């Protein structure tokens, strides 16, 4: 195999990782392992990463060969990330060659989604229902938030497969979710009466906007947000800024969808309730939410239980500490607990720690704060001039909280992995 063919293998390795939601550090590590397998001199291989493009240059004697690879679709596929890492580790240990690497990349590329679409829709809907429960929603709000999320996700997946623009897809999905969840406004009362008549008392007093706010939380770009901070901390400035920009525009599209839904149903944009639930409920909701996102992210079945336990641990840690430490510190420590959990079980299950930790911390992503900040900003012109300064202060407060929490989640997930790598090097 000549140098150009080996370079193509390196580009393909990086492109598969980038398209599957790996952060820049993992992409660079994967390519460096592939360099060992191809037999190219590591000091003559140079990598440049962009948001959707990978460029690699190889010095070959008197010339320098440079090639690009553009990644058309950016998503999250933990099965591919895990498959590539396991294959690279095995090939490096066996001192295999580039032909074996090509065969392994073909095998991993042929891996489909492990879970049927009906299960993905069901579990992501259940995850959104768990979010609604944590926010203090009663049974009708939880039901319609679940239905709204499942319907919106179905629309998003259809539009994604059709190759439509990311932001238009998110806007359409958010609007669809809100229209379905808005049925809570007219059907909550008769449904509550029916449940009460059946001997199932239902709590009252749920804010009308709660089901609408909760039903779009599955769209919050948790992985790009976390990866953006990871990249910035690791020195990949352009990648970090690019991913943060995409995440911000995605949240803006979600907010516009919510605004459309609120206006169609004439639902007031009131404050969301702050419920205090039993700790067992927080743990259960965290596990359900982590399961939904783990299945959406195509996590291997054999590690699904560890993801669920990590999500329960993360949400429970936040619930235990939020009263005394504040939401920012509590969420960071919850992510740290999930990160430690991921590192511990990654050795036992032989998977990257991120495969276990990322789905576990997604329930901690401050979707409500992001939603409140952008919704407040969009409605600023409708606020009385005497209250505009206070409204802007509120927008800044929510945005700052969201930013601090996202940074804390990234540090909490990354710190145990960094310490683990350092300890492994010492050994």
| Mean pLDDT, rounded, for 118-130 | 94
212 band by pLDDT with thresholds 50, 70 and 90: confident
207 band by pLDDT with thresholds 50, 70 and 90: low
Residue 147: its pLDDT value, please? 93
205 band by pLDDT with thresholds 50, 70 and 90: very low
Residue 239 near residue 51 (C-beta atoms within 8 A): yes
Query: Taking CA 360 as the corner, what is the angle to CA 117 and CA 104, rounded to the nearest 5 degrees?
Result: 60
204 band by pLDDT with thresholds 50, 70 and 90: very low
Count the neighbouring beta carbons within 10 Å of the beta carbon of residue 336: 22
| Mean pLDDT, rounded, for 414-427 | 78
Count the neighbouring beta carbons within 10 Å of the beta carbon of residue 352: 21
Tens digit of each residue's pLDDT (9 = 90 or more) over 346-361:
888 888 888 899 999 9
Beta bridge partners of 58: 45, 65
Tens digit of each residue's pLDDT (9 = 90 or more) over 291-336:
999 999 999 999 999 999 999 999 999 999 987 778 899 999 999 9
Give the integer Cα–Cα distance in Å for 125 and 127: 5
Residue 200 has pLDDT above 60, yes or no: no
Query: Which of 232-241, 271-280, 403-412 has the least mean pLDDT?
Result: 271-280
Residue 322: its pLDDT value, please? 85
Give the integer Cα–Cα distance in Å for 177 and 171: 10
Summary mean pLDDT of the chain: 86
Give the side-chain half-sphere CA count within 13 A for 415. Answer: 14
Element (H, E) at 53: strand 53-60
126 band by pLDDT with thresholds 50, 70 and 90: very high
Give the integer Cα–Cα distance in Å for 24 and 17: 9
Residue 378 near residue 255 (C-beta atoms within 8 A): yes
Residue 156 near residue 169 (C-beta atoms within 8 A): yes
Residue 189: its pLDDT value, please? 56
Residue 77 near residue 298 (C-beta atoms within 8 A): yes
Tens digit of each residue's pLDDT (9 = 90 or more) over 68-109:
999 988 889 999 999 999 999 999 999 899 999 999 999 999
| Mean pLDDT, rounded, for 365-376 | 78
Closest to 174 measured CA to CA, from 138, 199, 149? 149
Tokens 């993905």 correspond to 120
């Amino acid at each position: 195999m000549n140098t150009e063919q080996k370079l193509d293998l390196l580009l393909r390795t990086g492109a598969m990782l980038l398209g599957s939601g790996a952060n820049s550090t993992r992409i660079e590590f994967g390519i460096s392992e592939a360099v060992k397998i191809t037999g190219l001199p590591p000091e003559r291989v140079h990598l440049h990463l962009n948001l959707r493009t990978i460029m690699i240059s190889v010095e070959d004697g008197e010339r320098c060969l440079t090639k690009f690879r553009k990644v058309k679709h950016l998503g999250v596929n933990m099965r591919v990330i895990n498959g590539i890492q396991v294959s690279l580790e095995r090939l490096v240990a066996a001192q295999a060659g580039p032909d074996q690497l090509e065969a392994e990349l073909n095998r991993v590329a042929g891996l489909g989604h492990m879970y049927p679409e009906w299960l993905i829709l069901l579990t992501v809907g259940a995850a959104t229902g768990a979010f609604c429960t944590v926010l203090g929603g009663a049974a009708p709000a939880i039901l319609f938030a679940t239905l709204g999320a499942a319907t919106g996700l179905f629309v998003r997946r259809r539009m994604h497969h059709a190759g439509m623009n990311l932001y238009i897809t998110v806007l359409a999905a958010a609007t669809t979710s809100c229209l379905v969840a808005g049925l809570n406004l007219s059907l909550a009362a008769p449904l509550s009466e029916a449940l009460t008549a059946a001997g199932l008392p239902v709590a009252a007093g749920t804010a009308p906007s709660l089901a609408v706010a909760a039903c779009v939380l599955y769209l919050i770009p948790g992985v790009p947000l976390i990866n953006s901070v990871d990249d910035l901390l690791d020195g990949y400035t352009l990648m970090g800024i690019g991913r943060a920009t995409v995440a911000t525009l995605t949240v803006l599209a979600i907010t516009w969808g919510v605004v459309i839904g609120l206006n169609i149903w004439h639902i007031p944009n009131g404050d969301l309730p702050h419920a205090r639930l039993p700790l067992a409920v927080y743990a259960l909701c965290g596990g359900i939410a982590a399961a939904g996102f783990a299945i959406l992210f195509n996590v291997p079945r054999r590690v699904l239980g560890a993801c669920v336990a990590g999500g329960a641990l993360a949400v429970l840690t936040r619930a235990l500490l939020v009263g005394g430490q504040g939401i920012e510190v509590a969420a960071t420590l919850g992510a740290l607990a999930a990160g430690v959990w991921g590192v511990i079980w990654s050795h036992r299950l032989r998977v990257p720690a991120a495969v276990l930790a990322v789905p576990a911390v997604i329930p901690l992503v401050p979707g409500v704060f992001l939603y409140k900040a952008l919704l407040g900003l969009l409605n600023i012109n409708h606020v009385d001039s005497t209250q505009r300064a206070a409204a802007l202060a509120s927008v800044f407060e929510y945005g700052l909280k969201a930013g601090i929490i996202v940074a804390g989640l990234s540090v909490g997930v990354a710190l145990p992995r960094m310490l683990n790598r350092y300890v492994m090097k010492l050994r």
